[in-house]
Amino acid sequence: MKFTEEHEWLRVEGDEVVVGITTHAAEQLGDVVFVELPEEGAEVTKDDEIVVIESVKAASDILAPLDGEITEVNEALVDEPGKVNDDPEGDAWFFKMKVEDLSVMDELMDEAAYKAFIA
């Protein structure tokens, strides 16, 4: 997995990138009560605000970590936003996207660098 300074994680699965928020981010947010996901098929540009997440503490926007196309969203989070707190780096992924060049992921932090970043 790779990580962004905005506390997102990215994992390559086949020719797609799966995106969610880190355990650290979920802990900072507190109990998540609402998630608004992007539309499947949407073309996004890095740093576009594409997910809205609300918790008992705050509302946050999740930014597109890369340029690409949203290929799938995790509809289960709309009905059960609390899953984000239960398994943020697993079943509570937000969306999958197709990117033209997966080598752009090389610019992101690995797990050790992310742990140092949040320390």
CATH number of the domain that residue 66 is part of? 2.40.50.100
- Given pLDDT bands bounded at 50, 70 and 90, which one contains residue 54? very high
Q: Is residue 15 part of a domain?
A: yes
Indicate the pLDDT class of residue 94, thresholds 50, 70 and 90. very high
| Residue 6 to residue 48: CA distance in whole angstroms | 12
Answer whether residue 100 is part of any domain. Answer: yes
pLDDT in tens, 21-39: 999 999 999 999 999 999 9
CA 110-63-113 angle, to 5 degrees, is: 15
Domains contained in the chain, number: 1
39 domain-assigned: yes
Question: Distance between CA 50 and CA 65 in Å, rounded?
Answer: 10
pTM: 0.94
In-domain check, residue 119: no
